[in-house]
Structure formats: C-alpha cells, structure tokens
Chain A
Amino acid sequence: MTFLNIRNLRVRFMSQSGVIHALNSIDFSIDAGESCALVGESGCGKSVLGMAIIRLLPSNAVIDGEIRFREKNMAEMSEKDMQEIRGKEIAMIPQNSAMALNPVMTIGSQITETILLHRKVSHRESTERAIELLKSLGFQEPEKAMDRYPHEFSGGMRERVLIAMSLACSPVCIIADEPTAGLDLIIRNQTIVLLKEQSKEKTLLLITHDLGCAYRLCNWITVMYAGEIIESGPTKEVLSHPFHPYTIGLLASIPSAGLHPISGMSPSPSNFPAGCRFAERCKSPLIRCQKEHPSLVLIDGVRKVRCFYYDRT
C-alpha cells in the first residue's frame, strides 16, 4: 500500500505581480518506511511541495490535485482534521532553526507544547518525555536544557531541538526541510547520523540541496527543477548514473567533481517557457525541446526522467 501518494498536484500563488506557478503536475509517492530525498536548487519548489503535503502553505496558495495519505485525500481535509495529522502522524522539521523556534519560550515548553496538544498526558509526563527525547538526541544535561532559550544554543543544537519536537508524538512520517543547512561539516555529519537513527522505521521525506545528505539518508531521490519533477529513482543509481542533463550538471558542479557550473539560471516561475523548462541551459537541446513539453517517462522499471532524449514517443 502506498503510504503517501500525490497525483497531479499543482500549486499556484496569487501575487500582486501575477500568478506564480510553484508546482506543476507533480506525481509522487512514497511507500511506508521508505525514505525519499527531494533535491533541487532554491526556488525549484521542493519546500512548497513539503509544505503542501501538510497544508502549511500561505493563504494565497491555490492547491489542485490529490494528496492521498493512507487513502485519505489531504487536499480536501478540513483544518481540524489536518491538525490531527500534523505533528501526530506527519511531523515537519522546518527550515532554519534560528527562525523556527520561538525566541521567548524555553526549549522545554516548546517540546511539551506539542505533546500536551496531541496526547492526554499530564504536564509531568510530557516533561519526562521531552527530557527523554533530548537525551536520545545527545544533550548532555537534558534537564538543564529544558529551561534554556533558543539563543543559548548553537545551530547544531537548535537543529536537534527541532528534531526532538518533530519526534515528540512519535509520528509515522517526518518531513525534514534542509536539516543540515548552515551547519559545519562535523555537526552536519552528526545531524545526519541522528536523523538516520531517529527515522528508522519511519517514512522520511528529506528536502535538501545537500546531495551528500540525500545520499546518506535516503534510498530514493527525486530531483526537481522549475516546479517539476525531472528525475527520480533509487539514490545510488541516480547519483552514479544520472539521466537528465540537469542532474548531470548538478553533480558536475560539486567542487570535487571539478566545479563545472551549469550556465544560465532557472526560468522565472511566473513565466515558464512552453517547451522543456531546462532547454535554455541544456548543452545539447533538440529542436522539439523548445516547442514541446516533455513528460515524465518510466525507464528501467524504477527510474523516471523528463527529457526527450529518453522519450521515444
């Protein structure tokens, strides 16, 4: 049974300067217990997809399509039903730990808040649970940490607090948005190990532009470009034998792969070209790439790619 199944999802933002097409015909699914990474450059819509799943997009967003979570369509659920799912079933680790935590609340009260909201437990029990969580995430003195404020912690520790908050109600699915952004190498690696441990037997959707992080945490990878999925498949295969020219370019721009950048920049989301959205930056575009829009085709049984080089129709 597919755990999370997204069909033909479209997200548009109505802004003063016009309609911004953030996501276009997204088809995406994860099985229970799997881990999937969403990668792509900033502005490609990966965070919007994460937010759309748990319906935390701003009010000017228009969502079309289906988001099926355990056969229920979340896109049509009432806000009250969504509250039951958020935190309890699907938890989110938001981007940017410095902004996500409330600066005037102690770490302890922010973690217990979630527990008290979803579980019928006493204050003391929730505190115990929070301490236990902090301990499992490597806090030396969890009791003391409970009374501290976010600014007293380093970026790596704040990230751990966010992980603790997301785990507070033992959700079955975690959506982690850029958990390693802005962290140092060593701290980043520690965070990856922690996430790996904690997300065992859970479904993990990792939103990142850190390919190393995606490689170590997820067995599936989905590459997004300009609001579309352009390639997906098993992480190892996609990263070692990328099909789509964008994925190839992305991997070649890693410093140790020689720092070969992709020329140009991604198209503006308010004005996408009619043809392939990557055609302008592609090294060897075909004539039809300018005119027709490629669709996501299945190759090798498990891998999908959106490129006319692989589309024989």
Chain B
Amino acid sequence: MESARSGVFTMIELNNISKTFVSGYFFHKRKDAVINASLTIQKGKILGLVGESGSGKSTLGRIALRLIDPSSGTIVFDGTDITSLSKSALRTFRPRMQIVFQDPDTVLDPLMTIGDSISEPIKIWRESNRHKTEEKVLELLEIVGLRADMISRFPFELSGGEKQRVALARALALEPEFIVADEVSSALDLSVQAQILNLLKDIQRKRKLTYLFISHDLQVIQSMADHVAVMKDGVILEDQKTSDLFSSPEDPYTRQLITESHKSETWFGKDLLTLNKPPFPLQK
C-alpha cells in the first residue's frame, strides 16, 4: 500500500472512510455501515472486496464512486480529491467510473430495448449522431459476446447471463477506466458465472481497466483479484496480495472464511484436475 501512495499509478484511494446511516423518527436509529476504511487500487489492477452481507462492502463500493457521500474521509480519484466536488464538477469524472450491479433483472429498464439501454449513456455523453451511436452499440455487443440482433430485443426476452452482459456493455459504453463490479456473478448459474467472469477478465486485460470487485464468494475472488481486502461489520480487517491472503491469512476471520470455503469443496482434489482431459471421449 505504501508504494501505491506515489500518485501516478493510483487509480483510486479511499482514506479513512466512514459512513453512518441515520433513520427513524427523530433520527434515533444509527448504523455505522463503514468504519474508518482505507483502500488503494493501482491502475490496471483488480481489488477484490470480500465480506458477508451487511459488512458494508457495497456501501464502500458506492462511496468510491460518490454515489453515496461518506460521513468522513476522503476519496482521491486519479490524483484528484473528489470527496467534496459539486455535482456539476463531478460530471467530468462520471464517464470515467462505472458500476455493474448484482441483479441483472432490475438493472435494465423493462420498457427500453437493449439497444436503447446501451446507447443511452453514449447519447448523453458522447455522440449525437444516430448512425455512429448504433455503430458503437454494435461494437459493444460484440465485445460482450452478444449477437447483433439483440439490439432490438427487450430485457424480458433475455436470460440472466445475457442481461448481465448487457449491463456490462452499458458500463463499458463510455470507455471508463474504473469499474465497481458489485456481486456481478452471484445471481448466475455456474457455467454462466464462468462465462461472465472470464469476459470481465478479458476486457480488463485488453483495456487495462481497474476493478473494485465486490463478492462474498471467496473462490470467485481468488480467481479474479490481484489484491484482496476482507471486510466485516464495516471494518477492513486486512488487505493483502491474493496469493498471500490465501496462503497466510492474518486475521482470524479471514482464516475462518477460508476454512469454511474449503469445507464445501472437499472433492476438489486431484480427481477434478483430470477434467481438462475429459474422460468421456476416451470412454468409447
């Protein structure tokens, strides 16, 4: 983390972020969602943020994009402190940062075609020429592996995996540098999850994107992230390189998470490794 503080290579820096939600009559209910959390993500890296539901990981992800304002602390995006920028000043940063949400069903407007959904940000930010917009949408559909005829379809005609691809295409429309991926694969089936995660990785590599990858699934985090931060009850317990975290977890909670995740995967021994050479055609 120290080396990251040099500035030029840092995509986003969260310093001592806290967030307290206040609700109820006379604001008597207080909930500390994030407590004094600091994170740094270097350009072109994937930081995995893991924790159970209610641990504040999504809140922190949203704070990073200033979709929620922190109660205290600072957010530095590519060298600029964006913590107290006004809405209009923040506009110049908006296209550079995007978010992909967990539930693909609720993310897309049911009354808009896929083409309209993807082109909406382009129309607002970039291009007014209809023809060029469409060209761009087709290019995006190809990147996320969807057929061109999807452009005139509606969300209800698509499967969960396809909808998640559309959400991703929409997030990529403005060629952002930083993407918060909030539980993008947890609503998907195993094989579809693998497709989406591979796609995310490919795009990240090709475009040198920076991800804040939020998930409660340790296995997914392990296969995606360069760095992992573990969060519990609003506090970041540890932040390590992925390989270090899995080989020598420092915090007892992390250790518990790792053992729990191993528990269910006991059959994952040598047996499964032979899968790459499928036994089945040889069986004949």
A240 adjacent to chain B (CB < 8 Å): yes
> Is there an interface contact between B257 and A257, defined as CB atoms closer than 8 Å?
no
Task: State how many angstroms separate the Cβ of A20 from the closest Cβ of chain B.
Answer: 14
B190 adjacent to chain A (CB < 8 Å): yes
The answer for the CA separation of A224 and B159 in the assembled complex, in Å, is: 18
A65 adjacent to chain B (CB < 8 Å): no
User: Which residues of A from 51 to 95 have beta carbons under 8 Å from B?
Assistant: none
> Is there an interface contact between B264 and A212, defined as CB atoms closer than 8 Å?
yes
- Residues of B near A139 (CB, < 8 A) are none
Residue of A209, A216, A283 near B190 (CB, 8 A) is A209
- Residues of A near B266 (CB, < 8 A) are 215
Task: State how many angstroms separate the Cβ of B128 from the closest Cβ of chain A.
Answer: 35
> Is there an interface contact between B190 and A253, defined as CB atoms closer than 8 Å?
yes
> Is there an interface contact between B194 and A236, defined as CB atoms closer than 8 Å?
no
> Is there an interface contact between B190 and A265, defined as CB atoms closer than 8 Å?
no
- Residues of A near B278 (CB, < 8 A) are 245, 248, 283
Which of A185, A265, A310 has most B Cβ within 10 Å? A185
Given contacts A258-B276, A262-B191, contact A241 B53 (CB under 8 A): no
A213 adjacent to chain B (CB < 8 Å): yes
Residue of B223, B273, B280 near A309 (CB, 8 A) is B280
> Is there an interface contact between B284 and A252, defined as CB atoms closer than 8 Å?
no
B26 adjacent to chain A (CB < 8 Å): no
Task: State how many angstroms separate the Cβ of A64 from the closest Cβ of chain B.
Answer: 27
The answer for the CA separation of A245 and B268 in the assembled complex, in Å, is: 18
- Residues of A near B193 (CB, < 8 A) are 253, 255
Interface magnitude class on chain A = 35 or more
Majority DSSP secondary structure for residues of B touching A: helix
The answer for the CA separation of A154 and B266 in the assembled complex, in Å, is: 28
- Residues of B near A251 (CB, < 8 A) are 272, 275
- Residues of A near B265 (CB, < 8 A) are 212, 254, 256
- Residues of A near B256 (CB, < 8 A) are 186
Residue of A187, A215, A240 near B264 (CB, 8 A) is A215
- Residues of A near B251 (CB, < 8 A) are none
Residue of A186, A245, A255 near B280 (CB, 8 A) is A245
Flag the segment in B62-70, B71-79, B214-222 that touches A: B214-222
Residues 294-313 of A, flagged 1 when their CB comes within 8 A of B and 0 if not, give: 00000000000001011000
Residue of A209, A255, A310 near B220 (CB, 8 A) is A255
> Is there an interface contact between A185 and B261, defined as CB atoms closer than 8 Å?
yes
B283 adjacent to chain A (CB < 8 Å): yes
> Is there an interface contact between A41 and B283, defined as CB atoms closer than 8 Å?
no
The answer for the CA separation of A192 and B190 in the assembled complex, in Å, is: 19
A30 adjacent to chain B (CB < 8 Å): no
Given contacts A211-B190, A259-B223, A265-B159, contact A240 B218 (CB under 8 A): no
Task: State how many angstroms separate the Cβ of B114 from the closest Cβ of chain A.
Answer: 16
Given contacts A184-B53, A215-B267, contact A257 B272 (CB under 8 A): yes
Q: Which residue of B lies closest to A40 (CB)?
A: B189
> Is there an interface contact between A43 and B159, defined as CB atoms closer than 8 Å?
yes
Residues 227-258 of A, flagged 1 when their CB comes within 8 A of B and 0 if not, give: 00000000010011111110011111111111
- Residues of B near A213 (CB, < 8 A) are 264
Which of B191, B217, B278 has most A Cβ within 10 Å? B191
A140 adjacent to chain B (CB < 8 Å): no
14 contacts between A and B (CB under 8 A): A41-B191, A184-B52, A184-B216, A185-B257, A216-B263, A239-B267, A248-B280, A255-B194, A255-B197, A257-B268, A258-B276, A265-B159, A265-B161, A309-B280
**Which residues of chain B have a CB within 8 Å of any CB of chain A?**
52-54, 159-162, 186, 189-195, 197-198, 216-220, 222-223, 256-257, 260-261, 263-268, 271-273, 275-276, 278-281, 283-284
**The 4 nearest A-B residue pairs measured at CB:** A212-B264, A253-B194, A261-B194, A41-B189
**Which residues of chain A have a CB within 8 Å of any CB of chain B?**
41-43, 154-155, 182, 184-189, 192, 209, 211-213, 215-216, 236, 239-245, 248-263, 265, 283-284, 307, 309-310
